[in-house]
Chains A and B, each alone.
Chain A
Amino acid sequence: MTKEKQQSIPFVIKFIVGIIVLICIFTVAMVFGAANTSVREVWLAITSDSASDTITMIREIRLPREVGAIFVGAALSVAGAIMQGMTRNPLADPGLLGLTAGANAALAITFALLPSINYFGIMIACFIGAAIGAVLVFGIGMLKRGGFSPLRMVLTGTAVSAFLYAIADGVSLYFKISKNVSMWTAGGLVGTAWSQLQLITPIIIVGLIVALLLSRQLTLLSLSEEVAVGLGQNTMRVKIILFFIIIILVGTSVALVGNMAFIGLMVPHIVRAIVGTDYRLVIPMSAITGASFMLLADTVGRTINAPYETPIAAIIAVLGLPFFLIIVRRGGKVFS
Chain B
Amino acid sequence: MVRLYTDDLSIGYGDRLIVKGLSISIPDKKITTIIGANGCGKSTLLKTMTRIISQQSGAVLLDGENIAKQNTKDLASKMAILPQTPESVSGLTVGELVSYGRFPYQKGLGRLTKEDYDVIEWALDVTGTTEFKYRSVDALSGGQRQRVWIAMALAQETEIIFLDEPTTYLDLAHQLEVLSLLQKLNKEQERTIIMVLHDLNQAARFADYIIALKDGEIVKAGNCEDVITADVLEKVFAIDAHIGIDPRTNKPMCVTYDLLEGANK
| Interface assignment of B52: CB less than 8 Å from any CB of chain A | yes
Q: Which candidate, B79-87, B113-121, B231-239, B245-253, is the interface stretch facing chain A? A: B79-87
A89 CB, min distance to chain B CBs, angstroms? 12
Question: In chain A, residues 1-56, which have Cβ atoms closer than 8 Å to a Cβ of chain B?
Answer: 3-6
A233 CB within 8 Å of chain B: yes
Q: Which of B13, B72, B109 meets A229, CB within 8 Å?
A: B72
| B52/A277 in contact, CB under 8 A | no
Residues of A within 8 Å of B92, CB to CB, are 223, 276-278
CA distance A90 to B109 in the complex (A): 24
Q: How far is the CA of A324 from the CA of B92 in the complex (A)?
A: 23
The answer to whether A224 has its CB under 8 Å from any CB of chain B is: yes
Of B86, B90, B103, B135, the contact of A233 (CB 8 Å cutoff): B103
The answer to whether B90 and A277 touch across the interface, beta carbons within 8 angstroms, is yes
B residues near A307, Cβ cutoff 8 Å: none
Answer yes or no: B183 CB below 8 A from chain A CBs: no
Residues of A that sit less than 8 Å from B by CB: 3-6, 88, 145, 213, 215-216, 219-220, 223-227, 229-234, 272, 276-278, 280, 333
> For this complex, into which size category does the number of interface residues on chain B fall?
35 or more
Residues of B near A145 (CB, < 8 A) are 13
Q: Contact: A4 with B76, CB < 8 Å?
A: no
Which listed residue, A5, A233, A278, touches B72 by the CB 8 Å rule? A233
Contact for A231 among B13, B91, B96, B101, CB less than 8 A: B101
B91 contact from A6, A233, A272, Cβ within 8 A: A272
List, in ascending order, chain A residues with CB within 8 A of B244's CB.
none
Question: Is there a chain A Cβ closer than 8 Å to B104's Cβ?
Answer: yes
Given A4-B135, A88-B87; A226-B52 close (CB under 8 Å): yes
CA separation between A162 and B81, bound complex, in Å? 42
Q: How close is A215's CB to chain B, nearest CB, in angstroms?
A: 8
**Are the C-beta atoms of B103 and A232 separated by less than 8 Å?**
yes
- Interface positions, chain B 29-62, Cβ under 8 Å from A, are 47, 50-52
Do A5 and B103 form a contact, CB below 8 Å, given A227-B83, A278-B92? no
Question: In the bound complex, do residue A229 and residue B52 qualify as a contact, i.e. CB atoms below 8 Å apart?
Answer: yes
* CB within 8 Å for A223 and B86 given contacts A230-B52, A277-B92, A278-B92: yes
CB-defined contacts of A231 to chain B, threshold 8 Å? 76, 100-101, 103-104, 156
Known: A5-B134, A213-B109, A226-B83. A277 touches B89 (CB 8 A): yes
Q: Are B86 and A227 closer than 8 Å at their CB atoms? A: yes
A333→B138 CA distance, assembly (Å): 13
User: Considering the complex, which residues of chain B in the window 65-102 have a beta carbon less than 8 Å from any beta carbon of chain A?
Assistant: 72-77, 80-83, 86-87, 89-92, 96-97, 100-101
Cβ–Cβ contact A232 & B104, under 8 A? yes
Contact status A223-B89, CB under 8 Å: yes
Q: Is B83 touching A232 in the complex (CB atoms < 8 A)?
A: no
C-alpha spacing A4/B100, complex, angstroms: 20
Looking at the assembled complex, report how far the CB atom of B217 sits from the nearest CB atom of chain A, in whole angstroms. Answer: 23
Given A224, A229, A230, A280, which contacts B87 in the complex, CB threshold below 8 Å?
A224
- Known: A224-B87, A227-B83, A276-B92. Is A232-B72 also a contact (CB below 8 A)? yes
Please name 5 pairs of A and B residues whose Cβ atoms are closer than 8 Å in the assembled complex, sorted by A: A3-B135, A5-B134, A231-B104, A233-B103, A278-B92
| Contact of A224 with B86 in the complex, beta carbons under 8 Å | yes
Q: Which chain A residues border B108 with CB–CB below 8 Å?
A: 213
Q: Is B222 an interface residue (CB 8 A)?
A: no
Query: Across the interface, which residues of B come within 8 angstroms of A229, CB to CB?
Result: 50-52, 72, 81
A333 to B92, CA, bound (A): 14
A277:B91 contact, CB within 8 angstroms: yes
Q: Chain A contacts of B80 at CB under 8 A?
A: 230
Interchain CB contact under 8 A, B110 and A216 = yes
CA distance A254 to B134 in the complex (A): 42
Q: Taking the nearest CB of chain B, how far is it from the CB of A326, in angstroms?
A: 16
Distance A234 CA – B52 CA, assembled complex (angstroms): 11
CA distance A272 to B52 in the complex (A): 29
Which residues from chain B contact A230 at a C-beta distance below 8 Å? 50, 52, 76, 80-83, 153, 156
A266 to B210, CA, bound (A): 50
B59 smallest CB distance to A (angstroms) = 18
Bound complex: CA A24 to CA B89 (Å):
35
Residues of A within 8 Å of B74, CB to CB, are 232
Name the distance in Å between A128's Cβ and chain B's nearest Cβ: 31
Contacts of A219 in B (CB 8 A): 100
B-chain residues with CB within 8 Å of residue A276 when the two chains form the complex: 91-92
> Do the beta carbons of A3 and B86 come within 8 Å of each other?
no
A227 cross-chain contacts in B, Cβ below 8 A: 81, 83, 86, 100
Q: Are A223 and B91 in contact (CB under 8 A)?
A: no
B76: A residues at CB distance < 8 A: 230-232
- Is B91 in contact with A226, judged by CB distance below 8 angstroms? no
Contact across chains for B100 and A6 when beta carbons are under 8 A apart: no
- Could you say which residues of chain A place their CB within 8 Å of the CB of B90? 277, 333
Contact of B73 among A234, A272, A280 (CB under 8 A): A234
The 9 closest A-B pairs by CB, nearest first: A232-B76, A277-B91, A230-B81, A232-B73, A226-B83, A232-B104, A276-B91, A231-B103, A224-B86
A5-B134, A230-B52, A230-B156 known, 15 other contacts, Cβ within 8 Å:
A3-B134, A4-B134, A6-B134, A88-B87, A215-B109, A223-B92, A226-B47, A226-B52, A229-B52, A231-B76, A231-B103, A232-B74, A277-B91, A278-B91, A333-B90
